[in-house]
């Protein structure tokens, strides 16, 4: 699945299900990509990417919180895939608990 479809469709749905008990019902979820930088003296270089699930509990405010982060990876696609797998794993556990 293309990365843009992952961010716009899968992540918010998974995040709402996983974090529903921790946030307000009208919260907005987004996934953002950050660049990891490595410093050597005065030199900075890119050293991969990380993806983060963030929540805006008050949609019209600038306040947000990071709920989950991926491990650093070489490409944006890899971090999106890793973060989605983590959310799927957490959701699977929650669904299993409901069935008990």
Distance separating alpha carbons of residues 83 and 53, to the nearest angstrom? 8
Distance separating alpha carbons of residues 66 and 55, to the nearest angstrom? 7
* Residue 66 exposure: Cα atoms within 13 Å on the Cβ side: 10
Distance separating alpha carbons of residues 97 and 7, to the nearest angstrom? 27
Tell me the pLDDT of the chain (100 aa) as tens digits: 565 555 567 888 889 899 988 988 888 888 899 998 867 677 777 788 999 999 998 767 788 999 999 999 998 889 988 999 999 999 999 999 888 7
| pTM for this model (two decimals) | 0.79
Q: What phi, psi does 61 have (nearest 5°)?
A: -110, 165
Q: What phi, psi does 65 have (nearest 5°)?
A: -140, 140
């Amino acid at each position: 699945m293309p990365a843009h479809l992952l961010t716009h469709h899968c992540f918010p749905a998974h995040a709402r299900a996983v974090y529903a008990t921790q946030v307000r019902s009208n919260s907005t979820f987004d996934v953002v990509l950050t660049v990891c930088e490595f410093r050597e003296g005065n030199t900075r270089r890119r050293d991969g990417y990380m993806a983060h699930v963030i929540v805006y509990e008050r949609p019209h405010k600038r306040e947000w919180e990071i709920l989950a982060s991926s491990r650093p990876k070489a490409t944006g696609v890899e971090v999106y895939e890793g973060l989605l797998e983590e959310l799927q794993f957490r959701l699977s556990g929650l669904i299993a608990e409901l069935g008990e």
